[in-house]
Amino acid sequence: MNTYDQILMLLKTRGPQTAQSLAGLMGLTAMGVRRQLEAAVEDGLVRFQDSPGKVGRPVRRWLLSDSGHARFPDRHAELTLDLIQDVRTLFGESGLEKLIAVRAHAGELAYRERMAGAATLDQRVAALAAARTLDGYMAETEPRVDGSVLLHENHCPIGTAARACGEFCRSELEVFRRVLGAGTAVVRIEHQLEGARRCTYLVSERA
């Protein structure tokens, strides 16, 4: 992966960044990173926001544009929308719900297999994140001092389908709750469909 693509990936997975912070993450000079960012702005993939700094000088943070986000694939978006509409037309909402349930069941079986042997909460969430990453969600975990774990999903490869049918998101949340165990609470605290940069789930042991 070249420097240009690495910068886009970091903006996708870490959100808005200064040129200096990107340079530190990549082991490059801020000037070199800034040149790549300016090229990405010209390509329409990156934009920037300026905010007041501590000493009056504005701080510039770089972030992906809509075109930049679209560079990361939404699986067969147009075909998916057509299929959703066809199922609705032929079988109604109940038929679509059955289709989503079948998909959720298959995913649940695959996740349980990937999570076999994971005992602690950290291990279970990490195994689920690894499985979700294989599915294209760019997932990562963030353990917290209170013992809970944040599961971040930096990309949604079924975003177009989810916008057309919210049941996809509700179904995924229920799958998470089942595979992580009855003693685990899972709450979605960030949601891309509500304007967040990513989807984030707070996972904790029930009291």
Q: Residue 183's pLDDT is what?
A: 92
Q: Residue 91's pLDDT is what?
A: 85
Domain boundaries 3-70, corresponding CATH code: 1.10.10.10
Count of other CB atoms within 10 angstroms of residue 176: 20
Query: 154 burial class (0-12, 13-18, 19+ CB within 10 angstroms)?
Result: buried
Q: How far is residue 184 from each of residues 178, 187, 202, measured CA to CA in Å?
A: 9, 10, 10
Q: Residue 87's pLDDT is what?
A: 83
Residue boundaries of the structural domains of the chain: 3-70, 77-205
Give the pLDDT means over successive 10-residue stretches in the chain (207 positions): 88 88 90 92 90 76 85 67 82 86 90 92 95 91 96 89 83 95 94 92 91
Query: 149 burial class (0-12, 13-18, 19+ CB within 10 angstroms)?
Result: buried
Q: Residue 174's pLDDT is what?
A: 95
Q: Residue 2's pLDDT is what?
A: 87
Phi, psi angle pair for 58, to nearest 5°: -65, 150
Q: Residue 75's pLDDT is what?
A: 61
Pick the CATH number of 77-205 from 1.10.443, 3.30.1380, 3.10.620, 3.40.50: 3.30.1380
Convert the pLDDT of each residue in 67-116 to its tens digit: 888 787 766 566 677 778 888 888 888 888 888 898 899 989 999 998 99
